[in-house]
Structure 1
Amino acid sequence: MINILRSSIYALAITSILSLGSTVAFSKDRILRADTGSPGGSAHTATVVLGKVLGSKLGFTLQVNDKQTLTRSALKLGRGQLDWFPFPTTVYFLMTKGKGPYKKEPMKTKALELSKNLRSIWGWSANIFHFVTFKTDEIKTFQDLKGKSIYTGPPSGAAAVISESIIKAVTGFKPNVDYKAVRLPWGGGLQAMLDGKLDVFARPCALGCAILDQLGMKSKYRLLDVGQESKLKKWSKHPARVIDKIPAGSYKAQVNNDKNLVGAGTTFLIALNKTNISNDLAYKMTKATWDNLDEIHKSAKTLATIKKETPFTGVNMPLHMGAVKYYREVGIKIPKRLLPPEAK
């Protein structure tokens, strides 16, 4: 069972109805809490599908707050206000290094301390950054972005940092110097694009995501091509970043869908609060994922990049002890860097 809340109000009931403003008593391992991004994004799809599949197998209900900025949700997870959610690899890097939205004190110290409460169970290549323009004749390459108005992501979010870093890697252009970087919540950015207030809309999502179809209902569009992979070589050395491709024919409304495009991608991992999620439940969540991978893939084609052969793709966070137990049982070698302090 999964309940998606489209506001900050907790309104969940399994055997009782909770009135507005009442305190929710969470039964350990039975009612789990997660944040996620906007519908159509990789985090949202993964949260919903995993909540349904794992919840049905393991007997827990997942309460989801969507349309959230995950850099803030990461702090909530560290504080134990959430139990688990699909977590951008980049966000853990920013937390532990005191960068991005965590660069100023006292947030820098707080984020580092809260990061110690986080554990992972597996990861995957989740997103490709799609740079979309309706101005198909005027904007044909990344070089044409100079002087343009570009939606890069939500305020204080990792997505904006990454999309701006991609533009810089490919062109050398700096935000609000060579182009106008527009930061809005996900929904606001999409609406601004549909209303014609932007030249380019940058959106990380899995290949084939519904957001591109939604944009295509408005107008034909062009996806910008990085071109040479070498432009992203230095950029891709970051543990959360990968060079990827958007295959020809991926989107019907794309005017340049006759060839493969080089793109920039990012990874996610499944993060848990190490105290809220017991070793037993973490073990069962890990096992249930790999035992039911076909069902997960059938539930959403955008999750096809979750692969048992590469369970540590994008994982830069120590594993939960429950996951450690599972991988040791099935003979999957765990990189030393992913062993938590409690396993050493």
Structure 2
Amino acid sequence: MENIKLMRDNQAQFALILGIFGAWAFDGSGPIRNPYENFRSISAMWPNVEHFVLRSDLVTDGTINDLSSLDGERYSIGMRNSGAEQTGFYIFDALGIDYSDELSIAYMGYGPSANALQDGNIVGMNIPAGPPVTAITRAYALLGNSMTILDFTDENLEVINQEFPLWQSYEIEAGTYPLQEEPINTAASPNILVARDDVSEEIVYNMTKLLWENLATLQEIHSATKTMAIEVALNGIPVPLHAGALRYYQEQGVKIPEHLLVP
């Protein structure tokens, strides 16, 4: 939310934000009560991949629905006021997981959550990030099959996308983590690059062009960008495109969804 505030106050002209925060800001919903409509999307970047972890002895069907079967066990949702907390609770609410009754919520960062899981102080943790995530890698190395990253079913995805169509199915390939022998079918939503709407069309056009025409270099620098491709650059974006980005995508023949066009 801090990046939204910086743009609103004109202390930043560009920002990288979670897709759900962009949707909340533009809509004036969730934790962002005052609509902020003076920003535009440039591109989806790397995905924010959901890792809802649960101790394996508490797993029934291996999906996020298993969290509804808990009875007051301690579960780490992320640090207070973090993106992990906000998106985690949003998903719980959408799926009807009564976390105030079924879970004892702990507020921890990624590293402390992994430590607490290993020590038996929590039964699971919410770690949304691009795989491989260091905290998950460390936990898997020590716990192996004693922990499970929960799957999302097609029905789960349909439900969490009812308000904002942000999440898509994402497969964490087998071997991404130590001792992970099977693929994990989870959900992911995009981190999105945005700009204030008063940034000039030419600047945003050149930035968009620079991004996509130098993607190979970016992918050599940061492994999270390896899933990026111009063919999916607009997937999961909730905010209309900046005029400069729109011009570039139209030149490249990218199909523009109607909701990304400024009325």
TM-score, normalising length: structure 1: 0.65
For the pair 1:81 / 2:3, whether they are aligned, the reply is: no
Deviations 1:184-225 (CA, angstroms, capped at 9, x unpaired): 455665665566532211111113233322434554452333
Deviations 1:291-330 (CA, angstroms, capped at 9, x unpaired): 0111122222222221111221121212222212222333
From 185, 189, 202, the equivalent of 1:262 is 185
Higher relative contact order (CA 8 A, sep 6+): 2
For the pair 1:198 / 2:122, whether they are aligned, the reply is: yes
Pairwise mapping of residues 142-291 of structure 1 onto structure 2 (< 5 A)?
142-143=66-67, 145-167=70-92, 172-184=96-108, 189=113, 192-193=116-117, 196-216=120-140, 219-220=143-144, 222-226=147-151, 228-237=153-162, 238-252=164-178, 254=179, 257-275=180-198, 277-291=199-213
Between the aligned partners of 2:20 and 2:88, the Cα distance in structure 1 is 12
Gaps of 5+ in 1: 1-70, 103-107
Between the aligned partners of 2:153 and 2:16, the Cα distance in structure 1 is 30
Between the aligned partners of 1:100 and 1:186, the Cα distance in structure 2 is 23
Between the aligned partners of 2:9 and 2:112, the Cα distance in structure 1 is 28
Tell me the SS of whatever aligns to 1:150. Answer: strand
For the pair 1:322 / 2:244, whether they are aligned, the reply is: yes
Contact kept, 8 Å, 1:206 with 1:303, in 2: the verdict is no
Q: Root-mean-square deviation (CA), in Å?
A: 2.8
Q: What is the identity, as a one-letter code, of the residue corresponding to 1:206?
A: G
Between the aligned partners of 2:112 and 2:57, the Cα distance in structure 1 is 25
Number of residue pairs aligned between Structure 1 and Structure 2: 256
Q: 1:228 to 1:239 in 2, by over 3 A?
A: closer
Q: 1:325 to 1:169 in 2, by over 3 A?
A: closer
Between the aligned partners of 1:335 and 1:81, the Cα distance in structure 2 is 30
Q: What is the identity, as a one-letter code, of the residue corresponding to 1:75?
A: K
Q: 1:80 to 1:217 in 2, by over 3 A?
A: farther
Deviations 1:209-253 (CA, angstroms, capped at 9, x unpaired): 33322434554452333364334332234321122222222201x
Between the aligned partners of 2:200 and 2:114, the Cα distance in structure 1 is 39
Q: What is the identity, as a one-letter code, of the residue corresponding to 1:98?
A: G
Aligned residues with identical type, % of pairs: 23
Contact kept, 8 Å, 2:45 with 2:191, in 1: the verdict is yes
Q: Which residue of 2 aligns with 1:95?
A: 25
Tell me the SS of whatever aligns to 1:126. Answer: strand
Tell me the SS of whatever aligns to 1:211. Answer: helix
Pairwise mapping of residues 27-66 of structure 1 onto structure 2 (< 5 A)?
none
Q: What is the identity, as a one-letter code, of the residue corresponding to 2:203?
A: L
Q: Which residue of 1 aligns with 2:235?
A: 313
Q: 1:243 to 1:333 in 2, by over 3 A?
A: closer
Between the aligned partners of 1:193 and 1:137, the Cα distance in structure 2 is 13
Between the aligned partners of 2:86 and 2:159, the Cα distance in structure 1 is 16
Between the aligned partners of 1:200 and 1:285, the Cα distance in structure 2 is 40
Contact kept, 8 Å, 1:146 with 1:173, in 2: the verdict is no
Contact kept, 8 Å, 1:125 with 1:306, in 2: the verdict is yes
Gaps of 5+ in 2: none
Between the aligned partners of 1:192 and 1:297, the Cα distance in structure 2 is 33
Q: 1:169 to 1:101 in 2, by over 3 A?
A: closer
